[in-house]
A and B are shown apart, each in its own frame.
Chain A
């Protein structure tokens, strides 16, 4: 069972504005029964000011498709057509308290039905440019068609590039195999062979420039500060001398019984970030330690 928000469930169990709208003057139909989702959106638009007086829907689809349709009708009622066209699929999802990534296409269907209905009202022809393919990246809801097209359009050749262009693969990485398969297929079309990129080389300790090293240290300090500030304390970087990093504990953190633990945590993060053994020293405790004195 999907982990639906209470709002999704509420709109599924008690859909608003369901059924045919007898005096509709704008109808948008998207999806198909073969895809498993179909939506007919019906609007009653006031010709005087193009305001949506009423909206209703008929949906063939899953719980989130029905809930998205219900939400859409609630969102757009009272809006002008121009205002309604500003409604994004993310707005529909947000209205419902979020949708599982695999179900975001339901909100897209709502957005498309709206565009189709407005086009119908204006006597225009609306063309569905949304192609659905197998969902590859569940973290960011990116399907195979989008990945394929992006690879072709931009001559991409690595998973990293695909992630940069589409976000696919930037989350849990479980879809990397799927992305590599698509890359292999598209690269084969242009006579190339896909080769997995070698793992990024880990910079050996000590290879960092002094500036890079200082920046890393500052980043760790900045990351620690909000937590300490919440407890009315703070930490500031004072100096860096080789393996020794001198900090000043402020406010409630100065002299706190947990100061050693706090410093220990910051030190652990420093070691991880820098890839070398360092010691974080509060300046009030000691002016300076002897060079190369490392924690036990």
Chain B
């Protein structure tokens, strides 16, 4: 029982990480049709900016309120990079989808190499508050606090994104744009502003994932974003592209499956099972669990 509770909660922690990366990816894909390969870079920027801020920014530090400032700085940096990428690289190639994907591919290669050039290829120990290293007893299981932090953060982000999409004017534009971009454009609404906004939201969520992932893993390295990104892609496809709620469901399924199979089977088998799940979902329901019936 203890093990099951522990595995469930650590699995949900992993799911939270996947969701934070996948939600932005899914929104960007749903609205702009861009598969953003540079999304892992936003995560890396968030992680390194938080790491840098905790050591160098006045008022920021590895503990208490200082850590909140450091994470806020990291999220801000990730958001800025995402907005810059959209304005400088993606926007000039408006509606040339393949070229946009290619540019993000180039950016993912160059960006990760740049991080590596500045901070080296080896993992750096991540500054984390003392309490995230401890465990909390839940139903008799000792659950690491870092995982609980991730779950709470992801739940807050999910609620915030849903509220934004449901109750604000821009949320309405984005929801309509995901459904039918041509129609929204024909109504005289500038979808491109929504593109920038969606990139900013995605960048912020990914940067938060980078900062909290640093706490969860205890270290930060340039390639971290890339390896998480592939599972985030899987989550996006299973969840149905463009659906934030679908991403949340899929992230939970993927995180739990991975954690349980890795524990009860051999290590690494869980990752393989996740891809098997992807294959099964595609065979039964090619549009994903919450996707539109017609896929692009």
A and B associate: no
Query: Chain B: residues with CB nearer than 8 A to chain A?
Result: none
